[in-house]
Structures are given as C-alpha cells and as structure tokens.
Amino acid sequence: MAQVEEQNDQAIIDGPVMLIDDERAIRVSTKQWLELAGHSEIEDFQDARSALENLNWHYQGIVISDVKMPGMDGLSLLREVKNIDANIPVVLVTGHGDVSMAVEAMRNGAYDFIEKPFEPEHLLDIVRRALEKRALVLDNRALKRDLVAAEGLDARLVGANPIMRALKRDIIDIAPTSASILIQGETGSGKEVVASCLHEFGENPSGNFVAVNCAAIPEQMAESEFFGHEKGAFTGAQSRRMGKLEAANGGTLFLDELSSMPMDLQAKLLRALEERKVTPLGGNVAKPVQFRLIAALQEPPEEAIASGRLREDLYYRIATFVMAIPPLRARKDDLPILFRLLAKRAAETFGREIEMPGPEGIASLMAHNWPGNVRELRNAAERYALSTRPPEEKLSIILNSEKESQTKTSLPLTEQVRLFERNVIFASLGRHKGNVSAVIEELSIPRRTLNEKMAKYNLKRSDHE
C-alpha cells in the first residue's frame, strides 16, 4: 500500500483505461491497483469482441489487453484497434511472451509490451505515459480541426475585427456540439451564413441544411409547410408532402425570423422538438426526426417575447446558446477588405475590369452608416463593379443615392484621422499587391512603423497578394 501512496504523490494523468483479460482475478487486481493510483475511468472486459464495440475514433483513453485469450487474441485485437484509430495506445500483457512475440507486437503498433507477473509500479508508469501520448494526439487533432475550421470561416465570414474574431471562435467551439442555437442580428447581417457555417463545421455536415424564412410563408400554408401533410388532408392535397422538419432529419433546420411563425404553430414546434417526432397534417402516425435546430431573430428575443410574437417556453427550448452578429457599423475596420472582396467577386460575375477606390473613396465608405449591413454593402459593390465612371465619382453617386439621414454618420476628427491613415496604408498595399517594401518606399515610413500600424489596423499583406 505504501508503494501505491508513493505513486499517488506523483502527478496522475487520468483518462479512460480499457482493461481486457479473460481471467477475472487478473482484471480485478489490476483495476484495483489503477484505481488506488488515481485512475477513475476504468472499464474491464473478459473478451476482445466486447471491448471493440466500445471503441471509436474519438476514444480518449488507452487499451490494456492480455495476449492469450479464447476467441480473438491480443495481437488480433491490436490490429482491429489500429484499424479504428492507429493512435490509440495498446499495451499487451502476457504470461507466455517471448522475444519474437514482443517484436511482432511492437512492429504491429503496440505502445508497449509487459510480461506477467509484473510490478504494479511498472504498469502504472506505462499507463501514465500512454495516457499522456493519447492526450497529446487528441489535442493536436483538435488544434488541426480548429485551424481548418478557422480557415474555412475566414473565407465565409470576412473580417478581423475583435467582434468578428469572437464570433468565429464561438462558431468553432459550438459547431461540433448538438446544442440548439439562437442567432440574433439585424437584417442583412449574415444570419443564414452563420447558420450554414455551424452546419458545415458541425456533427453532420453531410446532412441536409434546410433553411426556412418563417415570414415568407402564408399563415394558411404554414402547418403543411413545416409538418407536411398526407394525401387528402385538405382540398387540393392530391399526394403526400414532406414538411421542412422531416426534410431536415439527420441534418440542420434553420428557422429565420422565428417570431413571424404563428403562435399556435410555435406550440406545435415546441412539442415536436421535445418529443423528436412529427405528425403530418391529416396523419395519425408520428414520424421520428432528429435534427439540429438553429433559429434567428432580427430583434432582441426579450422584445419578441414581450410583444407576444415569440413563446417564452419555445425561446428557452431553442436558446441553449445565443449568438449575436454585430452590425456592419460596429466593425468598420473590416469595411475596406470586405468591399474589395465583394467588388472583385461582382467584377468576375459581370466580366468587368475594375479599379479599387483610393483613400478618399474608402473614407466615404467608412462614413456611411450601412443600415442594410453586408447585404447593402454587396449591393453597393455590385453597382460599383457595373459602373464605368471613375472610382471616387461612382462611389459618391452610389452612397448619395440613399437618404442622407440614413447613410451618413458624424465622425469625430480623431476618428476621421485614424480612418484616413488606415485607408492610405490599405490602398498602398492594394496598389503594390501586398509588397511591403514598395509600400515603405511609397509612404516614406520605417518598416517597424509600418508593421506597427498594420497590426493596429488589422491589415494583412496576404489580403492583397
């Protein structure tokens, strides 16, 4: 016991341990030693087949298995485990081992090999090191997954503003879970884009992504649209129709402008979410469904509830996590690169050659309030790409076509100076396709100063290459 206490004084790396041995006495004694050493997640099995049923690519622990067992032996188990995940550490234990068996086991990917009878401290040391290795593998996988997701998000959600970085971080964190999500954002802010990103980086990206604008569905057709109907359910129902909830089975259902859904239908939706079943209009048999729900509102949910357009119980059922998309006016640092990207895409679509706006034009974009958010910006970029006028002239026409009260924002002098400096550097990077040396020469500033200002204004040379 003293030896175990001495072992417990060391840092214990805890994690799942799968213990496989056909001899019950061996399993019991080994499990007790591991538990006394501080390992709390131990599962024991008397045969390899039963153990394999509990293994998958996401398994966070290690496997300790006897070699000589009836049915599937330890070496065959090792091969099966490696087919599931080559990075799950497998420790083989035998009372009949020899040098050739140990060599074969290590060649086939065993993490380690130990003979009976063994010293408990030796096994505990192997378990600790194997769990450390598994934890490192899983951490690296998570990091790679996050990097891939981040690269994909940067292409879908353009912007390096701190608010946008926080939103992207939330998407990466929440997407792999099954949590229901409520997205709140102004019209044109990109709620459906965020919802599709959550689907694409989620658990079932190959499933259907079914997007429904609740405000666009006539009230008399709403129940059939969402829940489907059977043949003969009403006049004109000549065949069975699948509803949106059933169509989203195995994937994601995105309900935009949820507060526009009739209140009685909200009650039926709540019941379907709780029971995970859908009963079509005119039908008697409930159909099981399993989908991730993402809903969106333009206004704050508490206002929708107070005005009687959103059921409070439905809100609490769907708002496991709430994401707020910032309006474009709250992240104006992203405007130059976002406008440039949208204008380039529009030019490619329309087959036009375009010249990007200079500092004065970018300043006018910054001074605009953008009540229609990214949707309005996209429209402006398309009009810009279509026009053959000089850059500053056509921007002035586009931005002044809206009411002055809606489009212009009064900016303090310090903010105007800051935006002007940022726009000058941004425009120079664009002219020189990200060549920093050329920008330094054109603007006559030291490299260190340019680097500091590029970091300050979230400017990247890669955005202009």
In a domain, 453, yes or no: yes
Backbone phi, psi, residue 288, to 5°: -70, 140
pLDDT at 403: 44
pLDDT at 405: 37
Domain count, the chain: 4
Residues 178 and 271 in one domain: yes
Spell out a b/e string for 326-358, using b for 16 or more CB atoms within 10 Å of the CB, else e: bbbeebbbbbbbbbbebbeebbeeeeeebebbb
In a domain, 367, yes or no: yes
Residues 268 and 346 in one domain: no
Residues 175 and 282 in one domain: yes
Q: How far apart are CA 426 and CA 421, in angstroms?
A: 9
In a domain, 46, yes or no: yes
Residues 10 and 37 in one domain: yes
Residues 319 and 181 in one domain: yes
Token look-up 């994909």 returns 152
In a domain, 152, yes or no: no
Residues 164 and 273 in one domain: yes
Residues 386 and 428 in one domain: no
Residues 50 and 63 in one domain: yes
| CATH number of the domain residue 228 falls in | 3.40.50.300
Token look-up 């586009």 returns 398
Residues 341 and 370 in one domain: yes
Q: Please list the ranges in the chain whose pLDDT falls under 70.
A: 1-12, 96-99, 143-151, 402-413, 463, 465
End-of-domain residue from the set 90, 105, 139: 139
Residues 63 and 171 in one domain: no
Residues 400 and 321 in one domain: no
pLDDT at 139: 78
Residues paired with residue 293 on neighbouring β-strands, in sequence order: 253
| CATH number of the domain residue 7 falls in | 3.40.50.2300
Q: What's this model's pTM, rounded to 2 decimal places? A: 0.60
End-of-domain residue from the set 361, 382, 407: 407
Q: How far apart are CA 230 and CA 401, in angstroms?
A: 50
Crossing angle between the packed helical segments 120-156 and 191-200, to the nearest 10 degrees = 150
Residues paired with residue 229 on neighbouring β-strands, in sequence order: 241, 281
pLDDT at 20: 93
Residues paired with residue 184 on neighbouring β-strands, in sequence order: 297, 324
Task: Report which of 180, 163, 61, 64 is spatially closest to residue 122, judged by C-alpha positions.
Answer: 64
| CATH number of the domain residue 336 falls in | 1.10.8.60
The predicted-structure confidence for 389-403, as pLDDT tens digits, reads as follows 888 888 888 888 754
Residues 166 and 301 in one domain: yes
End-of-domain residue from the set 268, 299, 326: 326
Q: How far apart are CA 430 and CA 428, in angstroms?
A: 5
Domain enclosing residue 23, as ranges? 2-139
pLDDT at 99: 65
